[in-house]
Structure 1
Amino acid sequence: MSLSPGPRNRITDVEGILVGNAEDHRIRTGVTVIFPETRCAAIADIRGGAPGTLNIQAMEPASLRNEVDAIVLSGGSMYGLDAAGGVVAALGARGRGVAFGGAVIPVVPAAILFDLVNGGDKSWGETPPYGALGRAALDAVGPDFALGNAGAGLGARAGALKGGLGSASTVTADGLQIGSLVAVNSFGSVVMPGTDRFWAGPLEMGAEFGGLGPPPAEWRGEAEMPLPPGFALNPMANTTIAVVAVNAALDKGALQRLAIMAQDGLARAIRPIHTPFDGDSVFALATGRVPLSGPAMLARLGHLAADTLARAVARGVYHAESLGDRPGWRSRFGPAA
């Protein structure tokens, strides 16, 4: 069955999903908010050894409910969790959330990445910028948004290259919509050692990240794991955080399986992945607009979600511009389509 990117090739090709970015270029950090227009089911799958998250337990299958009002991805390490508080306050003021005894409680899970040593001015004292950045990102939500040095990807680094915010989508002839968004701040490399080719290259649609195709015929791989510049055993210095969304109706168990399968997209695009130094986290959203016909359809959705996430990783790095000590992919390897 034929597959193609959606019209924007972003997670917002899943109807009902909006995204907003906010950045502080002086600090070299930012926040991305994923906003479902209608509260929808969500789950998370955590595979890295050093995650930083908020409200993950509220989405677990054993919990009472798992619908969310927004998901926040942020730089700033633990300081970045304040971004979710800014989004909660703004949504509560709008009356968006779970109504309980006359109160309104927005449900906003979050994940953070480490960008505290990228050269930006982090001397914010007792007033970190993340609550304000969260509110600004929420105010900016819409169907179109920037990739690369944007939102939570502004200060990110991907191995020896500049990391960034990536997104991709897949639509099928029978009406399925699969989208992904990722802030790539990985310990591992997104390119094959000694080449300019993305690990996700075999999955590329069109020339969405350069159109380079497979690696050169003479490439035989490299046995040793490449280390990023200035590598040190810092268990909080990386993390790739992502969201996948589908337009299907999935219960908690099915949504958990989708998130588990989608994690393989990171393994198809970054090597090594899920290390002790990363906090790799993938959220899954289901908008419920298409009925789930059975486990075969779920397997298909999970497979497409993983491939779409892998493409988003490459797109995030492809679109990133050089910053600090990390060159952008296009700066290092030259212009590409």
Structure 2
Amino acid sequence: MSRPGPKNLITDVPGIEVGNAENRDVLTGTTVIVADEPATAACAVAGGGPGTRETDLLRADTMVEQVDAVVLSGGSAYGLAAADGVSAKLGAMGRGYGLKDLPGVPKTPIVPAAILYDLANGGDKGWGEQPPYRLLGEEAFENRAKSFPLGNVGCGLGANAGAHAGGLGSASLRTADGMTIGALAGVNCFGSVFMPGTSCFWAWPYEQNGEFGNHRPGEGYNPDPEEWGDAKMNPQPGQNTTIACIATDAALSPAQAHRVAQMALSGFSRAIRPVFAPFDGDALFVLSTGKIPLEEPSPISLTRIGELAASTLARAIARGVYEADQ
């Protein structure tokens, strides 16, 4: 039977570490997912107001097939600069892509990124010409580890999930045949993660071991399809987003990783209602460390991975909000 990994974090995937950094005066933060070795990657964008970096590079038909890290950050477009800090750190280590090893020619770290909007959350945003995000990226990279807290940390520090505090969430699943899938999400959605009139998460069917409170809807519960619950009542363009990363040690090609990303998007739908709105910037990355070859690299095997990624992501989203409320 498949069960959560020992930490129930995306870092249960061997070869993956996560670092967080926050500026609590600005009320914002950055999260970086670092692969020990270059990882095959893909991206899927579903929201109508995304903010991303290097996502075109992740198409299955492009030349560069692997990445060194993924950055998820607060700060709207300013937050994309966090990837500059991570790239600088990786470059100083000699990591990155290069057609050839040439003396005096630095390699180029490949660091895709996505951001969420937290500029209107009441923090001190009077940074003038010095937004904090490059430094936050550097700090998050230096803080990378196998264990990390959830809730009001990293890119989830200044987030809001509907009418509730948002946050950083993560979850993992280890299958009986030894494959691990992990998810991490910064939850700043317009929609609600709770079923209307209850403390029950929409993602409750996927919960493992009471990881987000073990709340269940009452018998006969039947919400009005037009009732969204505790969504944000006055959404503004670009101010709502859930950004996420899936990691697995299953060996995936770029095209296979892209299919997993497309399937994993349903994890958003299982945890948030409504989702993928015109004013959401929902984006999802997939990383494959390639440590475990698929015994049967068939469409059925890929379907299995995509489904497990979706359910694990739904759990990570719920955990991000649950931990932020604790």
> What's the TM-score once normalised by structure 2's chain length?
0.96
- Looking at structure 1, the residues matched to 121 and 230 of structure 2 have their Cα atoms a distance apart, in angstroms, of 13
- Whether the 8 Å contact between 2:9 and 2:171 is mirrored in structure 1 is yes
Superposition pairs of residues 108-187 of structure 1, within 5 angstroms: 108-187=111-190
In the alignment, does 2:79 pair up with 1:71? no
Structure 1 residue 85 and structure 2 residue 87: aligned? no
**8 Å CA contact 1:193, 1:226 repeated in 2:** yes
- In structure 2, C-alpha distance between the alignment counterparts of 1:114 and 1:197, rounded to whole Å: 26
CA deviation profile, 1:140-197 (whole Å, cap 9, x unmatched): 1010011000100000000011000000000011111000000000000000010000
Partner deviation per Cα, 1:175-224 (whole Å, 9 max, x = no partner): 11000000000000000010000000011011100012x30114220232
Give the counterpart letter for 2:88 in structure 1.
Answer: A
**Pairwise CA RMSD of aligned residues?**
1.3
1:138 is displaced (CA, Å) by 0.2
**Distance in 2 between the 1:36 and 1:216 partners?**
42
TM-score by length of 1: 0.93
Equivalent position of 1:323 in the other structure? none
Query: Mind listing any 5+ residue stretches in structure 2 that lack a counterpart?
Result: none
- d(CA) in 2 for partners of 1:49 and 1:295? 30
8 Å Cα contact 1:187/1:228 also seen in 2: no
Q: Name the aligned partner's letter for residue 161 of structure 1.
A: H
Per-residue deviation, residues 255-285 of structure 1 (Å, max 9, x unmatched) = 1100001110010000001000101101001
The question of whether the paired residues in 2 share the 8 Å contact of 1:164 and 1:185 is answered with yes
Three-state SS of the structure 2 residue aligned to 1:72 is strand
| Counterpart residue number, 1:220 | 222
1:304 equivalenced with 2:303 (yes/no): no
Q: Which runs of 5+ in 1 are unaligned?
A: 321-327, 331-337
The answer on 1:202 being equivalent to 2:202 is no
For residues 42-75 of structure 1, the C-alpha deviation after alignment (integer angstroms, 9 at most, x for no partner) is 0100000000000001111110122001000000
1:121 partner SS: coil
Contact 1:158-1:187 at 8 Å conserved across structures? yes
Aligned partners of 1:32 and 1:152 also within 8 Å = yes
- The percent identity for this pair of structures is 52
Q: Give per-residue Cα distances to partners, 1:282-335, cap 9 Å, x unaligned.
A: 100111011122221111111100000000000000000xxxxxxx3x5xxxxx
Kindly indicate whether the alpha-carbon contact (under 8 Å) linking 2:163 and 2:232 is maintained by their aligned counterparts in 1. Answer: no
Aligned counterparts of 1:138 and 1:153: Cα–Cα separation in 2 = 16
Q: Secondary structure at the match of 1:282?
A: strand
SS of 2:258's equivalent in the other structure is: helix
Matched residue, 1:107: 110
Q: Which residue of 2 aligns with 1:21?
A: 20
Residues 1:59 and 2:62 are matched in the alignment: no
Q: Does structure 2 retain, via aligned residues, the 8 Å contact 1:148–1:316?
A: yes
